[in-house]
Amino acid sequence: MSRRVALAVGAVALLVAVSAGAIALAGGTGEQAPDTGRVETRTAEVQLTTLLLQEDVSGTLGYGATSTVVTDLAGKITLLAAEGSVVERGQVLFGVDGRRAVLLYGDSPLYRTLQVGVSDGPDVRLLEQNLIDLGHGSQLGGAADEHFDSRTARAVRAWQETLQVEQTGTVDLGAAVVAPGAVRVAGHATDVGGVVQPGAAVLQVTGTTPLVEVELDARTVSVVQVGDPAGIELPDGRVAAGTVASVSTVAVSQPDGGPDAGERTVTATVRFDDPAERGGLDGAAVDVQVTRGERPDVLAVPVEALLALADGGHAVETVTEAGGLRLVPVETGAFAQGLVEVTGAGLSEGTRVTVPS
């Protein structure tokens, strides 16, 4: 994973070798540099600008973590939601022996058959809330509670009618799968015609929000924060706007055999500001540029203009009004976009500095 700061520092190190002869001859601050033995140069102006502090990382297109849907039914698989499809509340995920498993929203699975007389359980409340959200609240006659009574049974029968299944007023164990929200089918764990038992994996699903997962160096992860804007370069060359949505707090070692083997990384996710801009296949590699801050209204010069002084520190070589050259010691700040922030005596916007050609 390349980083602009690392590139900038490398450029400075290279200039030590390029410029050492000229600086040693110049001897110190304010002296005119000799013309003999110099490398070919051009000039550039000191800019008053805003530097965007950016981090370049590699990422992978996807939809987030994958989870497994298991069944409570036994029999032969007769239906599977298509790979890549989005299944929402009340829609069918799969079927076993013709019995349909429908998606409901909630934070805990159904664990028993729900019928008249069952009470004192969050599963009843979850079912009733889903019936309300599916448009069957009038049969319930009020808000969701934890008691499955005759009104709940009426609402269930109305729901079963819309599903075109037998209207029993009872929700058998396995007739519904619970997830926090809509899911996207990432893959099939079995085939239509396969035989399953309770607890068998049927589908792999993800969330429905397109995103990019990136691996950050654990040593520098603090430079990227949730909410930072990002540019996502897609496989077709387009750049889509995104935002850092999460940064893990757990570092993991990269597996042996890869280019980053042994390196400890932290996973971050970047969401598309406009999901419709997402393009490319799942798992496709993309480049991501995270803007982690900015330095407004600073003086900056091309990184190549920096010269390493013999006694330490850095300088830039300015062009005087008479056409002469002077070394001006500078303090450096942020490196970004091929520029470096500088402060030094007499430097102002428009001051001309030399840059190796």
- Domain CATH code at residue 276: 2.40.30.170
- Name the band, by pLDDT with cuts 50, 70 and 90, for residue 262: low
Instruction: Give the span between the Cα atoms of 339 and 305, in whole angstroms.
Output: 9
Question: Which residues contact residue 219 at a Cβ distance below 8 angstroms, ignoring those fewer than 6 apart?
Answer: 264
Same domain? For 99 and 193 the reply is: yes
- Tokens representing 67 are 């989870």
| Whether 164 and 89 share a structural domain | yes
Residues 167 and 44 in one domain: no
Bridge-partner residues for 184, per DSSP? 86, 206
Residue 323 main-chain phi, psi, to 5 deg: 90, 0
Q: State yes or no: pLDDT of 44 exceeds 90.
A: yes
How confident is the model over 234-251, as a mean pLDDT?
Answer: 92
Q: State the average pLDDT for the chain.
A: 87
For 212-249, the DSSP string reads: EEEEEETTTGGG--TT-EEEEE-TTS-EEEEEEEEE-S
Same domain for 106 and 181, yes or no, is yes
User: Residue 311's pLDDT is what?
Assistant: 87
Domain total of the chain: 3
* Under 8 Å between Cβ of 154 and 169: yes
Residues 75 and 36 reside in one and the same domain? no
Residues 34 and 149 in one domain: no
283 and 320 housed in the same domain: no
At 10 the pLDDT is 39
Q: 200 and 73 in one domain? A: yes
Among 260, 291, 322, identify where a domain stops.
Answer: 291
Clarify whether residues 109 and 217 are in a common domain.
no
Domain boundary (171, 206, 241) is at 206
**For position 118, which CATH number holds?**
1.10.101.10
Q: With 60 as the cut, is the pLDDT of residue 53 above it?
A: yes
Query: Residue 119: what pLDDT?
Result: 87
pLDDT for 22 equals 37
pLDDT of residue 261: 60
Q: Is residue 29 scored above 60 in pLDDT?
A: no
Residue 212 CA to residue 287 CA, distance in Å, equals 10
Q: Within 10 Å of residue 337's Cβ, how many Cβ atoms?
A: 17
Owning domain of residue 253? 56-63+210-291
Q: How confident is the model at residue 258 (pLDDT cuts 50, 70, 90)?
A: low
